[in-house]
Amino acid sequence: MPALEVLAIQRISADEAAMIKAVDASIKLTDAGGWFDGEIRETWPAFTSDRYLAPDANGSGCREERDRLLAEAEVVLGGWPFPLDLRARAPQLKWLHQRPAGASNLLRGDLWGSDVVVTTSRGSGNTLAMAEYALAGIMYFAKGLPQAAVDRDAGRFSHRAYRPLSLQGKTVCVVGAGGIGQDVGRLCAAVGMRVVGTRRTPGDGGSLPEGFALVGGPADLDHLLGEADFVVICCQWTPETNHLFDANRLALMKPDSVLVNVARGEIIEETALAAALQRGHLRGVALDVYDGEFETAPMAALWSDTRVLITPHISGMSDQNRHGAVELFCKNLSAYIAGQPLVNVIDWARGY
C-alpha cells in the first residue's frame, strides 16, 4: 500500500503524533506545526496574530519547503489560524480535519465551498469547561456580583443594588442543544433549574438529553425566550443563525433576564444588544465571544458596561484537557483508509 501523506500544520504533541501513526502502517506523518506562523502574520490581521501566535513565532523553512509539504499532502490536520490559500497550494488534498469545533472558522480561506472534504471536532472539544463557564456567567449576574466592582471603585457598599436571585426553579433556555448545550443543560439542572432548549433537528420524540424538560426546533425559540430567566447560546454560526438575536428577539426576553454566549459573536446583533441594555432591558450579558473578535477589540458600548462581562474566547480552557480532536481525527483516519464515511463532515450549504 502506498504511503498516505498526512500533514499536521498545527502543533501536536509527541503522544498525539504516536496516536496518529498507530492508526495504520501506511501513514507518513509530517509535523509542520508552527511552520506557517510567518505567513499567518503576513496575511491575517495583526490583532489575530498577536492573540493566537507566540510573540517570537515566525514560522520555519522557506516558502518552497512549505509549498512542497502542502503539494504532497493528501490529508491535513489543521487548526486556527491557517494558511488562507491552503486549497490552492495543496492539489492532492482530499480531506482536512480542523481541531476547532466551529465550521465558521474556515469562512475566510479558500477551503470553504471547495471540493475538499472538511471535518470538524464538533462535540469533541472541552465542552464541560464551556458549560461551567456558562453556569458561572449565570451565577455572576444572578448574585449581583458586578456590583462588587462598582462598590470597590466607589469605596462604599450599596447593599440594595445587588438584588440576588435564587437559581432553584428558574428556567434556562439553551439555544443549540448539541454537545456544548447538553453539558450546559445537565449542569443547570443539577443546581435546580428547569432546562429547555432548541436545536436544528430536535428529534422524533425519543428520549431527551439529561436534565432537559423540553427540546424544540428553531420555530420554538421565540416562545421559549419568553419563559426563560437565563438564555445560553451554544449553536453553530450559520446563515440561519447570523444575528439570530436581533432587536425583535432580544425584546422577547424577560426584562430582567441574563444572556450568555459561548458560541460565536455574530449570532448576536451587537448594536441591538447595546440598545437593549441602554433602555435597561436585560439584567446582564456574559460574552465569551463577540462580533469581529479575531480582528478587533469589543464594541466600546458593551465593554464599558458593568452589566456586560466579556472574555477573550477562553470558555473552553481549563487545567484539565478533555479536548478529543485528535482522537476523533484518528477515528476518521481509520474510516478514511477503509473507504468508510467520515464523522462531522461540513455541509457547505448548511454551514456546519
Q: Which residues are catalytic?
A: 264, 295, 313
Helix segments in 80-126, DSSP class H: 86-89
The CA-based dihedral angle spanning residues 145, 147, 148, 152, taken in that order and rounded to the nearest 10 degrees:
160
* Residues near 133 by beta carbon (within 8 Å), at least 6 away in sequence: 262, 288, 311, 314, 315
* DSSP-assigned states of every residue in 3-71: -EEEEE-S---HHHHHHHHTT-TTEEEEE-TTTTHHHHHHHS-HHHHHHHS-TT---SS-HHHHHHHHH
* Residue position matching grid coordinates 450559520: 238
Beta-bridge partner residues of 118: 96
Across the chain, which distance is largest between two alpha carbons, in Å? 74
Burial of 257 (0-12, 13-18, 19+ CB in 10 A): buried
For residues 185 and 174, the answer to whether their CB atoms sit within 8 Å is yes
Handedness of CA 324, 182, 292, 312 (dihedral sign): negative
